[in-house]
Structures are given as structure tokens and as C-alpha cells.
Amino acid sequence: MLKYSLVGYDGSASSQRAVRFAAELARASGGRVRVVSVLQMTEGSADTCALMMTDPGTGKCSRLLAEVKELVPDSASLIDAEVVRGSPGDVLLEQVSRHSIDHIVIGHTERGALARWLLGSVSGDVLQRSHVPVTVVR
């Protein structure tokens, strides 16, 4: 039985569907949901350094919680949310061991072959490296 599901959230329509799906699953199984939004920054840029020094992520976390509350109105007792800096795939997989996650739910955004080649695919990365079940929501 699933007790703690992780959702990667970027504000896209597919990640919103993933949050709703995970919340419904948690209600049905008596579990909880952890929603994580990843701040991905290009290494070495001046903007990255400035942002890391001036923004601890609390504003983004507040916005994340507000968005999740809109998606799942009774989310306070069901959902934890956090904003983390790093590479999306690495952050999500790190959360699994750090928080005893037993299921990952991620949205899938349709991209062309060139975009996948240039940018990579978070869902593909997580599917390839995860040691817990992964549900991809379209």
C-alpha cells in the first residue's frame, strides 16, 4: 500500500494533473503527498549567484503552497510542499531516500525529439533511475 507519494511540480498542466492524481490516491490509501518544485539554475552565471544570495526560496514556497491549495482545496492535512534547488531528476530521486517515499508521480509534457535531446526529459530520467514505482500522468 502506498503511504507517501512524491510529485514533481513545475506549474504545468500535466504537473497539476499529477498533484490531483496523487491527492486522490493518497485519500484512497490513507497516505500523504509530498509536492516538490525544483529551482533549476544554470551553473556559473551571475544571475544564479545573485538569486541564491537574495532569495531563500520562501516566496516561491508560499506561491507553491497557494497553488496546491487551489488544486486540492483540503490539502493542509494531506500534502507537504517544498522548493528545492538543483537538477529536477536528481532532486526527485534524492527525496525518495530522504523522506521514505514509496511512489513517484510526475507529469509528462509533450516535446519534440530535438527539445528532448537538448533539454532532456525529467520523466525519462526518473523512470530510468527510480527504485520505487513511478506513475507518469499525461
pLDDT at residue 71 in the model: 93
pLDDT at residue 118 in the model: 41
User: Strand locations in 9-129, DSSP E?
Assistant: 32-39, 79-85, 103-107
pLDDT at residue 110 in the model: 62
Taking all residues of the chain, what is their mean pLDDT, rounded to a whole number?
A: 83
Q: Which contiguous run of DSSP H or E holds residue 8?
A: strand 4-8
Distance between CA atoms of residues 98 and 113, nearest Å: 33
85 φ/ψ angles, rounded to the nearest 5 degrees: -90, 140
For a pLDDT cut of 90, what percent of the chain falls above it?
Answer: 48
Q: What is the pLDDT of residues 63-114, one digit of tens each?
A: 888 899 899 998 888 999 999 989 889 999 999 999 999 999 998 766 555 4
Q: Which domains are assigned to the chain? A: 4-137 (3.40.50.620)
pLDDT at residue 59 in the model: 76
User: What is the 3-state composition of the chain as percent helix, strand, coil, each rounded to the nearest 5?
Assistant: 50, 20, 30
Distance between CA atoms of residues 5 and 104, nearest Å: 6
Is pTM beyond 0.75 here? yes
pLDDT at residue 52 in the model: 55
